Amino acid sequence: METITMKQAAQFVGQEVHINAWVTNKRSSGKIAFLQLRDGTSYFQGIVVKADVSEEVFELAKSLGQESSIILTGVVQEDTRSALGYELLVKDIQIVGESHDYPITPKEHGTDFLMDHRHLWLRSSKQHAILTIRNEIIRATYQFMSENDFVKIDPPILTGSAPEGTTELFHTKYFDDDAFLSQSGQLYMEAAAMAFGKVFSFGPTFRAEKSKTRRHLIEFWMMEPEMAFVEHEESLEVQEKYVAYLVQSVIDNCQLALKTLDRDVEQLRKYTITPYPRISYTDAIELLNKNGFDDITWGDDFGSPHETFIASQYEQPIFIVNYPKAIKPFYMKVNPEDPRTVLCADMIAPEGYGEIIGGSEREIDYDVLAENIKNFGLDSETYAWYLDLRKYGSVPHSGFGIGLERAVAWISGIEHIRETSAFPRLLNRIYP
Ligand code: 4AD
Ligand code: MG
């Protein structure tokens, strides 16, 4: 007899099979027990009819604690009432691991309690749905990049440079020297783009930000493409195509997860339409000032209420382009049409999710860049290799970084970024 997963049920209707599972809930009367089951691939109901099984099996079914692990034997049946459409008419149950007094019960629990039990909370259907969407976004990213001829290059995690400013670095000893955990692979990816043309990285990044918001993690995953011979506007076109592709992939391949999360799919469909609107930083400031935001003037960075308001004027994700040079990193190319600003864009997600992508065209003028490095208080020697790229066959190039967890939070429609990571690292939390 075959052992199948719940996801494979459709191919086994009417057949007797084994299924390995955990019990999420159960109810029973004198004559019948209903087991709510999961096996990691999906959810399933097991029906145990007293008249059809031995007395021991029926007693066992009635006594199973929440999260007991079992091997079921039974016949797969269609079940039009369940989300999956199938159930198991149980013939036999073998217990694998008992479970008593499971801490997470179907009643409501507080966030701290759930975070302390993250190692168990992962099993719940909402968390399973979010991480399923995360997995799909990762899969679709590799597919998109491969279809568009990008080569994956892995930049180092232990680094000596600080692409995004020196205030948010994690220090560590590197034998007798100091090193930082990577806050972005970008500078290395620029070197790689000069070797391969179109490259991307996808890996963990670290920001020692003392931010305790629904958008910030201390450790997060970033996907960073870098493209040689590509100017700013062309990079924006890649970004919108890529994000629309992610949303479409989740709509196509994560129906059950979206349903579990109550995500409005019609809303998501709007985000598959490109191009996305563009608004300049300068126009965005004007828009804010006209609408009662007098706490911000030209030169300031946006706070999340500002981003949320600007995005709320549109139906799709938007690009805010050409920020002031002074509030962006040293490597961004100055805007020839307005040298107070740089050729950059942040993509702002709708529905209050804020910035999901930061990107720019890169400065390639050796002297301007050397001057920026000095002015930003960075050590020229550390960046000598980076300046070298401007000496030997330098070409216009652009790139961007998308925060995986922010994209997952937005596409899943969930409240807080902490649920997008299996074991999130947050300010004041490194357990479990
Ligand atoms: O805007 P950022 O800082 O840009 C860079 O690091 C560039 N070097 C990227 C590039 O051009 N190659 O970060 C990019 C994205 C943000 O838009 C956001 O989605 C995410 O990374 N991000 C965070 N996500 C979660 N928690 C944090 N603390 C984050 N900081 C940035
Ligand atoms: Mg940014």
Q: Does residue 150 sit in the same domain as residue 201?
A: yes
As beta bridge partners, residue 201 has 224
Whether residue 104 is contained in a domain is answered as no
Q: Which of 422, 31, 429, 11 is nearest to 204 (CA)?
A: 422
Domain for residue 279, yes or no?
yes
Question: Residue 212 belongs to what H/E stretch?
Answer: none
Task: Tell me the CB-side half-sphere exposure of residue 398, using CA atoms within 13 A.
Answer: 21
55-60 CB contacts, 8 Å cutoff, 24+ apart: 57/90, 57/92, 57/93, 58/33, 60/93, 60/95
The bound ligand whose nearest atom lies closest to the alpha carbon of 163 is 1
Whether residues 331 and 382 fall in one domain: yes
Number of domain units in the chain: 2
pLDDT tens for each residue of 414-425: 999 999 999 999
Burial of 323 from C-beta contacts in 10 A (0-12 / 13-18 / 19+): buried
The number of residues making up the chain comes to: 432
Quote the domain boundaries for residue 9: 2-97
Q: In this predicted structure, what is the pLDDT of residue 81?
A: 82
Residues 124 and 82 in one domain: no
* One domain for residues 59 and 158: no
Residue among 93, 103, 88 nearest 43 (CA)? 88
Residue 341, SS3 per DSSP: strand
How far is Cα 92 from Cα 89, in angstroms, rounded to an integer?
Answer: 9
Residue entry with tokens 């999420």: 24
Indicate if 248 and 124 belong to the same structural domain.
yes
What whole-number distance in Å separates Cα of residue 135 and Cα of residue 379? 39
Please identify, by atom number, the ligand 1 atom nearest to the C-alpha of residue 226.
Answer: 12
In the reported structure, the alpha carbon of residue 354 is separated from the centroid of ligand 2 by a whole-number distance in angstroms of 10
In this structure, is residue 58 part of a structural domain? Answer: yes
**Domain final residue pick, 63, 97, 131:** 97
Distance between CA atoms of 410 and 317, rounded to whole angstroms?
Answer: 11
Position 430 in a domain: no
Q: Which residue has the tokens 């050409």?
A: 322
For 188-211, letters b (16+ CB in 10 Å) and e give bbbbbbbebbbbbbbbebbbeeee
Q: Tell me whether residue 398 is in a domain.
A: yes
Shared domain for 224 and 339, answered yes or no, is yes
Q: Does residue 164 line the site of ligand 1, with CB under 6 A?
A: yes
- Give pLDDT < 50 ranges for the chain: none
92 and 126 inside one domain:
no
Site to probe by mutation for ligand 1, drawn from 406, 411, 429 as the one with most ligand atoms within 8 Å of Cβ, is: 406
Last residue of a domain, one of 65, 97, 129: 97
pLDDT digits 0-9 by tens, 305-335: 999 999 999 999 999 999 999 999 999 999 9
Q: Where are the beta strands (DSSP E) in 231-282?
A: 278-280
Residues 89 and 166 in one domain: no
Q: How far apart are CA 361 and CA 231, in angstroms?
A: 6
Shortest-distance ligand to the CA of residue 205? 1
* Domain-located, residue 82: yes
Q: Does the Cβ of 186 fall within 6 Å of ligand 1? A: yes
Q: Say whether both 184 and 64 belong to one domain.
A: no
Closest to 362 (Cα-Cα) out of 172, 235, 222, 249? 235
Domain CATH code at residue 7: 2.40.50.140
Q: Which residue's C-alpha comes closest to atom 17 of ligand 1?
A: 357
349 assigned to some structural domain: yes
303 plus 402 within the same structural domain: yes
Q: Does 209 sit in the ligand 1 pocket, CB within 6 Å?
A: yes
Asked whether the whole model's pTM tops 0.95, one would answer yes
Q: How would you class 274 by CB atoms within 10 Å of its CB: exposed for 0-12, middle for 13-18, buried for 19 or more?
A: middle
C-alpha torsion sign, points 111, 116, 118, 124 = negative
Does the C-beta of 136 come closer than 6 Å to ligand 1? Answer: no
- Which residues are bridge partners to 87 per DSSP? 45, 77
State the maximum Cα–Cα separation within the chain, in Å, rounded to a whole number.
86
Per-residue confidence (pLDDT) for residue 148, from 0 to 100: 98
Q: Is 287 helix (H, G, I), strand (E, B) or coil?
A: helix
Residues 17 and 125 in one domain: no
Query: Domain check: are 414 and 339 in the same one?
Result: yes
Q: Look at residue 328 and tell me if it is in a domain.
A: yes
